[in-house]
């Protein structure tokens, strides 16, 4: 029986067109792509960002509404002037519209059953992806294969690993510096937090929310004012979306509350804003956040000149068409200093 199975796999491989790719997606499904996709549908914002980083956004013909509205450096997709169809909510997608688009591949965050049904309905390969770990190297590797961008995928993965190693080396060489206790706020109320932010760990510090066990679907949690005061963080990091500048005013109002006056981070002016993606994880922002965190925690070992040098390198890798001055304008929108 095993021999028959192996012969079946062998003949299946032989029957695929030259250059075809066969992969296992994140739901364990076998997906075959016959040619480099020229017409891509993405129903997952994180996949859309990776497609842009692979410089294949011009091949995208349809997106979920979250992807279409996302902040994508330097110009949101909705303002690019390309003909991309809004397919609606990713979970209640307009399948008739997908059929009219005649895509070569559909990328989703569906489960196995939903993906199989969509593939059967459209006759198009459907790839299931997820956020699986802190850095999502597997995601880049998988999308690199199905989009025939393996060299670009390998380049990005190697770069991300080098940045993590550099951060860990900086921490190891800073043994005489006491790492701060950090609270990560995911909005300007400061009452929503990310207890297991990998950047805090990579940069050698302790997340004061790490004991929280009641998490939502993406790993965040809601706390009360008493928790924030009791945790007494040395540093507060606040995620801000650069296309929502009103958040800075909201944050400053929150920080001025009397009951927060004795929190060390607020008393010592160690509240930092980081750029957050409006939807879908963006690893350019992640690399920037690692570099900024190193500078904020270990300024003697990692000074402002080093920070600027590395952010320019991050930008060159992930979004080479964006000028540093252009990025700096966006970054300044979320600066609370």
Q: Which residues, including other chains, have CB under 8 Å from residue 6's CB and lie 6 or more apart?
A: none
Average pLDDT of every residue of the chain:
89
Look at residue 11 and tell me whether its pLDDT is greater than 80: no
Per residue in 165-223, pLDDT (tens digit) is: 999 999 998 876 788 999 999 999 999 999 999 999 999 999 999 889 888 877 899 99
Domain match, 143 and 22 both:
yes
pLDDT > 90 in the chain, percent: 69
Domain match, 141 and 208 both:
no
- The pLDDT of residue 74 is 64
Per residue in 139-169, pLDDT (tens digit) is: 999 999 999 999 999 999 999 999 999 999 9
- The pLDDT of residue 80 is 67
Look at residue 30 and tell me whether its pLDDT is greater than 90: yes
Q: What is the pTM of this model?
A: 0.89
Domain match, 184 and 131 both:
no
β-sheet bridge partners, residue 206: 181
Band (75; pLDDT cuts 50, 70, 90): low
User: Is 4 within the bounds of a domain?
Assistant: no
Domain match, 247 and 140 both:
no
Could you say which of 98, 133, 148 is where a domain stops?
148
User: Is 9 within the bounds of a domain?
Assistant: no
Domain match, 143 and 182 both:
no
CATH number at residue 29: 3.40.50.1980
User: Is 194 within the bounds of a domain?
Assistant: yes
Domain match, 240 and 295 both:
yes
- The pLDDT of residue 12 is 45
User: Is 7 within the bounds of a domain?
Assistant: no
Domain match, 138 and 219 both:
no
Domain match, 187 and 132 both:
no
Question: Between these two residues, 73 and 49, which has the higher pLDDT value?
Answer: 49
Look at residue 229 and tell me whether its pLDDT is greater than 50: yes
Which residue range is the domain that position 63 belongs to?
Answer: 16-148
Look at residue 18 and tell me whether its pLDDT is greater than 90: no
Look at residue 268 and tell me whether its pLDDT is greater than 50: yes
User: Is 216 within the bounds of a domain?
Assistant: yes
Pick from 40, 94, 46, 78: nearest CA to 62: 40
Tokens standing for residue 257:
């509350």
Band (48; pLDDT cuts 50, 70, 90): very high
Q: How many independent structural domains does the chain possess?
A: 2
User: Is 140 within the bounds of a domain?
Assistant: yes
User: Is 155 within the bounds of a domain?
Assistant: no
Do you know the residue count of the chain? 337
For residue 48, the surrounding DSSP H or E stretch is helix 45-53
């Amino acid at each position: 029986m095993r021999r028959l199975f192996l012969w079946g796999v062998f003949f299946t491989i032989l029957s695929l067109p030259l250059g075809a790719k066969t992969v296992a997606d994140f739901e364990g499904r076998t997906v075959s792509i016959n040619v480099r996709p020229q017409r891509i549908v993405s129903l997952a914002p994180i996949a859309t960002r990776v497609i842009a980083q692979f410089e294949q956004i011009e091949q995208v013909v349809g997106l979920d509404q979250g992807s279409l509205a996302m902040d994508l450096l330097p110009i949101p997709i909705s303002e690019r002037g390309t003909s991309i169809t809004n397919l609606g909510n990713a979970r209640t997608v307009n399948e008739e519209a997908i059929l009219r688009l005649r895509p070569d591949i559909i990328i989703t965050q569906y489960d196995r059953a939903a993906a199989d049904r969509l593939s059967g309905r459209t006759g198009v390969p459907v790839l299931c992806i997820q956020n699986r770990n802190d850095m999502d190297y597997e995601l880049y590797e998988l999308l690199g294969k199905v989009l025939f961008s393996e060299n670009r995928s390998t380049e990005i993965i190697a770069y991300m690993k080098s940045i993590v190693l550099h951060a860990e080396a900086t921490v190891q060489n800073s043994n005489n510096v006491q790492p701060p206790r950090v609270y990560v706020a995911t909005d300007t109320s400061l009452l929503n937090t990310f207890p297991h932010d990998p950047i805090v760990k990579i940069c050698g510090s302790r997340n004061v929310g790490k004991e929280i066990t009641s998490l939502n679907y993406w790993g965040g949690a809601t706390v009360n004012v008493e928790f924030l005061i009791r945790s007494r963080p040395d540093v507060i990091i606040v995620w801000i979306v650069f296309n929502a500048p009103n958040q800075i005013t909201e944050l400053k109002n929150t920080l001025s509350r009397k009951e927060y006056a004795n929190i060390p981070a607020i008393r010592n002016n160690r509240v930092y804003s980081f750029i957050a993606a409006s939807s879908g994880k963006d690893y350019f922002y992640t690399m920037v956040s690692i570099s900024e965190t190193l500078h904020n925690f270990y300024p003697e070992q990692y000074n402002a000149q080093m920070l600027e040098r590395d952010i320019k390198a991050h930008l060159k890798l992930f979004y080479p068409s964006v000028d540093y001055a252009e990025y700096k304008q966006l970054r300044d929108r979320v600066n609370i200093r």
